[in-house]
Amino acid sequence: MKTIPVPVPGNAAPRPEGFYSPRVTLALAVLSVPLAFLPYLLMRLEPLTAGQMRQAALAGALIWCASVAAALLSGWRRRKLFPLFLLAPVAFGPGLASEIRVFRLNGGPNLGLADYLAAQGQYLGASEQALEKYKLSLALNPWKYQTYHKRGDTYMALNRPAEGLQDFETALRIAPQESDHYYYLGRYYFFKGQVELAARHLDEAIRLNPNLNGYYQERARLYTFTAQPDKARADIDKALEVCPSCAVGTLHSQGYFCLSAGLLPEAVDYLTRAAALPGAPAETYLNRASAYYGLKRYAEAAADCDKAVAIRPTVFGVYGLRAQARLRLNLRKEALEDYAAAIAQRASSEEYLQRAIANFYFKRDVEARADAAKAVELSHASMAPNTGIPYSFNDRGWAYLWGGEWEKARADFEKTIGMDPALPHPYGNLANYYWAHKKDRRKALEYLELEFQRGFAEWDLLTSELGDGYFLKGLNTTPEFKALVAKYRK
């Protein structure tokens, strides 16, 4: 007769072969939970987005659930296979993390095409075609925040800041710890004139990554814009410190920004520092020549144009600028040669009109009128895509004025004012019309005052034979004219 063993009080019941104790089983189950998230932990080492991290965590959780289900179905009470299934993430985790990283970060099977399209967009610059390339790239790889940055920059260049901001904010949501987001948002707010917000975002970009040259350059521009030259200089020095090999580009860029902002002495300073370094491009000398020209240092402007031509004879704009400088140095033959070279480089309305003005100055009226007529002819072609731009009408009117087509000139100036009454120059040009053509002193002075009220500051042009002074002869020597200028000139 078979007897049933009776448990002895105080002793555990004997465990059948193949069983784990409840404590060991529980310990293995608990240990398996962090191991299940190994893909997530591995991917923390990669520059991935929060969404991609969630993908990895979900994948790990699914592996863990599958392991538990497999252990249960295998009859874990009879075999010691349970821990092997629970440790499955250890085996699958690295491979899965790698696959998710490649697929999500690089656009999966469309990696090459997405990156190619983004590169095409960057090559096309600020254009609608570039936006189309970025759109296609993001359709294939919507997780690549760098593409949103590029498209946002393109929107900004096309004067569509709201869409640019939307792209920058999308990039920020994808990867909130990336310093580039704050850099691009800082540029956006700078563009919008919100300098405090711009400074805050650029400060944050530098805090997150203090070793990027471009961040300091952008903040230096902001400091320059807000009349803080010492801080701007400190940021440029810091930019040079973090990237010594970028010195020429950094100094050239800051010099060009100062030139664009009308800060001519500062532009000369930065561009001179750039020119002193090996490898300075022709544009460095050309931009410094522009600054010298604005400072009426015409001999130095012409000399810098010579240096630019020596480095690269095809540098755009150099011959027209040198012609203007030589004209003011009264180098008639050399100036006319440079005007011809400028027209050969780009036969536009502007180049022909500049030579027309020079020919009038040199009393070559026949040649001058021929050039003015050519300028008008070319201005019609350039007007076609720019009929919504007020200054395009003003520029054509200026060509009509020099060509003696008075009524057409007046119509274009009035059209400009109708489109944007805040622009100063069309009022001054109407003053030229009323004095040179109509000899109407009252109207000429009225329009001059309207021009001065709108921020006109090019006072020398009013008496220069190479500018408004050509049309205002006789008026610009009167007491009324001098009193009006004295009232507004600061």
User: What is the per-residue pLDDT across 150-181, written as a single tens digit (0 to 9) for each?
Assistant: 888 888 888 888 888 888 888 888 888 788 88
Q: What is the pLDDT of residue 56?
A: 57
Tell me what the mean pLDDT of segment 279-287 comes to.
96
**What one-letter code names the amino acid at 49?**
T
Model confidence pTM above 0.75: no
Q: Which sequence spans correspond to the domains of the chain? A: 22-106
Least confident of 95-104, 309-318, 409-418, 467-476: 95-104
Q: What is the pLDDT of residue 57?
A: 59
Do the Cβ atoms of 175 and 146 come closer than 8 Å? Answer: no
Q: What is the pLDDT confidence band of residue 105, given thresholds at 50, 70 and 90?
A: very low
Q: What is the pLDDT of residue 132?
A: 84
| Interhelix angle 247-260/264-275, nearest 10 degrees | 160
Tell me what the mean pLDDT of segment 335-349 comes to.
94
Q: Which residues of 265-296 are buried (b: 16+ CB within 10 A; e: fewer)?
A: ebbbbbbebbbeeeebbbbbbbbbbbbbbeee
Q: Give me the percent of the chain exceeding a pLDDT of 70.
A: 73
Confidence check: pLDDT of 35 > 80? no
To the nearest whole number, what is the mean pLDDT of the chain? 82
Q: What is the pLDDT of residue 109?
A: 42
Confidence check: pLDDT of 12 > 50? no
Tell me what the mean pLDDT of segment 423-452 comes to.
96
Q: What is the pLDDT of residue 318?
A: 97
Residues 286-336: pLDDT tens digits? 999 999 999 999 999 999 999 999 999 999 999 999 999 999 999 999 999
Tell me what the mean pLDDT of segment 179-196 comes to.
89
Tell me what the mean pLDDT of segment 363-369 comes to.
93
Cα 309 to Cα 105, 318, 349: the distances in Å are: 46, 7, 23
Tell me what the mean pLDDT of segment 80-98 comes to.
51
Q: What is the pLDDT of residue 62?
A: 65
Q: What is the pLDDT of residue 83?
A: 56
